[in-house]
Amino acid sequence: MTEDLDECYDVIVKLSKKGGQLIHERIWSQKSVQFKSCEVDLVTETDQEVEKLLISSLKSKFPGHKFIGEESTAAGIKCELTDYPTWIIDPVDGTMNFVHGYPNVCVSVALWVDKVAEIGIIYNPVLELFFSARRGQGAFLNGKPIHVSQENDLSKSLIGYEFGTSRDPEKMKVVMENMNILTPLVHGVRSTGSCAQNMAMVALGGTDANFEYGIHAWDIAAGYLIVTEAGGVVIDPAGGPFDVLSRRYLCACSQDLADQLVTIIKQHYPERD
């Protein structure tokens, strides 16, 4: 099927900015917070509203399109990515940050067609960082082209790393083990609290690599395109090809740096999306 991707892109840019505006208006006011899978996995009414805004507007514009959205994906139901044009949406990536007023909060939206990423948007409305990419057209921050760093020396690399929003003891053990392994070997480790922002930082060249387990398709679908269009690589953390439903990813400025990380990090395999 042929999609008017230019139209899709124009529409989603406007909608992402609208969603971002809601986030910016509310980040420093009272919120009602609910727990999802555990006491550090949160959702607010803003998450739900931004997702509704995006999905309802996209549905009315593009009636044949499918959706994989964080808040509308019922717990326990498996996600399915078909060849249909599919919007993969995290309305508020970094909900813990949003709850605290901490500025690393992003709208993350991607359009995949025939299981290929065509459009990726990561928008942090608090810091006014609008990352975007179209397949084959490069990656941009606020309209200016961006490129990953050139750092292939692990000892000089800055790594994006998260402690996560899971209290699963097995996962936490791997998280601390990897921290122990990495810290003596790299230049530094940075935790922003937003997976999408972590990937965008690699695309920008502000960090050199980033990996995480346990995140979801909606956290990484846009970052995948933005990093690759910025000249970087996105793979499975064990070295194989990236799988957007696997809940695992490793992105880096180069295959060389990615391979160095693959040989040293411990693995964790969450249940697939």
Partner 1 sequence: MKHDVDQYFETVLGITRDAGKIIKEGIARTKNVDTKLGSWDLVTQYDRRVENVLMKEISKKFPSHKFIAEETNAEQKATPELTNAPTWIIDPIDGTTNFVHGFHLTCISIALSIEKEVVIGIIYNPILDQLFTAIKGQGAHLNNQRINASQVEELCKSMVCLESSFACIPSLKDSIMKRTEACVKVAHGIRVLGSAALALCYVAMGVAEAYHIDGLQCWDVAAGALIVREAGGIVLDSTGGTFDMMSHRILACGTKKLAEELVILFKKADASIIKININNG
Binding site for partner 1 (CB under 8 A): 39-40, 96-97, 99-103, 127, 149, 155-156, 158, 161, 163, 165, 167, 172, 175-176, 179-180, 183-184, 186-193, 201, 204-208
Q: Among 127, 110, 13, which Cα is nearest to 69's?
A: 110
Q: Among 232, 272, 236, 240, which Cα is nearest to 256's?
A: 232
Q: How far is the CB of 125 from partner 1 (least distance, A)?
A: 14
Q: How far is the CB of 206 from partner 1 (least distance, A)?
A: 4
DSSP assignment of 101-158: T-S--EEEEEEEETTEEEEEEEEETTTTEEEEEETTS-EEETTEEE-------GGG-E
Residue 90, marked binder? yes
Q: Position of tokens 């399109």? A: 65
The Cα–Cα gap between 219 and 236 comes to 15
Q: How far is the CB of 257 from partner 1 (least distance, A)?
A: 13
Q: Among 69, 143, 70, 117, which Cα is nearest to 223's?
A: 117
Q: How far is the CB of 113 from partner 1 (least distance, A)?
A: 33
Q: How far is the CB of 101 from partner 1 (least distance, A)?
A: 4
Q: How far is the CB of 8 from partner 1 (least distance, A)?
A: 30
Q: Under 8 Å CB-to-CB from 176, ≥6 apart: which residues?
A: none
- 137 φ, ψ to 5°? -120, 10
Residue 70, marked binder? yes
The smaller minimum CB distance to partner 1, of residues 54 and 122, is found at 122
The smaller minimum CB distance to partner 1, of residues 34 and 56, is found at 34
The Cα–Cα gap between 203 and 221 comes to 14
**Which token pair is 223?**
């970052």
The smaller minimum CB distance to partner 1, of residues 78 and 144, is found at 144
Q: Under 8 Å CB-to-CB from 165, ≥6 apart: which residues?
A: 38, 40, 41, 42, 96, 214
Residue 25, marked binder? no
The smaller minimum CB distance to partner 1, of residues 188 and 240, is found at 188
The smaller minimum CB distance to partner 1, of residues 39 and 271, is found at 39
The smaller minimum CB distance to partner 1, of residues 31 and 66, is found at 31
Residues annotated in a binding site for Mg(2+): 70, 90, 93, 219
The annotation places the binding site at 70, 90, 93, 219
